[in-house]
Amino acid sequence: MVKNNVFELTLVSFASLATIAFGIWHFFIPSQWDWYSYVVPNATELIVAIKAMNSLFSLCLILIGIADFLIILYGNDRFSRIIFLSLSSILWTFRVLIQIITPQGSAIPLLQYGMSSGFFLIWFAFTVGLLLEIKRHKGS
């Protein structure tokens, strides 16, 4: 196990677990928000495509979160740690930007601001964790 900065470990662990939680939650969003009621019922291929995309997205969030969590705890290769943390930082940067440009949850302001805050915190944790990892990598 690589000696971790406790702050980095805490940040990346939080962000990883939050990513996993968002992935799990995303499996249930279509039924929670009745997504398919907005789609013409005879557009069966569209419904199948939405289900497939949401399922794949949800699974990817879970797998990315698990991979980040495991690599920060047990990864011995700093280059791999930087790559994984970079991917997650880019992913959450993109999600924060989308939320700023076209916010989701706008029908319920508390939800919109809660989502924005959550996305920002996850982005912040991954990005600071990445910067700490790069700094440590340069120092070795």
Q: Tell me: the pLDDT tens digits for 33-79?
A: 899 999 999 999 999 999 999 999 999 999 999 999 999 999 989 99
Number of domains in the chain: 1
Q: Is residue 12 part of a domain?
A: yes
pLDDT of residue 39: 94
Q: Is residue 1 part of a domain?
A: no
| Neighbouring residues of 88: CB distance < 8 A, sequence distance ≥ 6 | 15, 16, 19, 64, 68, 126, 130
How confident is the prediction for the chain on average, in pLDDT?
93
pLDDT of residue 1: 46
pLDDT of residue 139: 63
Q: Is 88 exposed, middle or buried (0-12, 13-18, 19+ CB in 10 A)?
A: buried
pLDDT of residue 28: 96
Enter the pTM of the model: 0.92
Q: Is the dihedral of CA 98, 8, 56, 26 positive or negative?
A: negative
pLDDT of residue 25: 96
Domain containing 34 equals: 6-139
Confidence of residue 105 (pLDDT cuts 50, 70, 90): confident
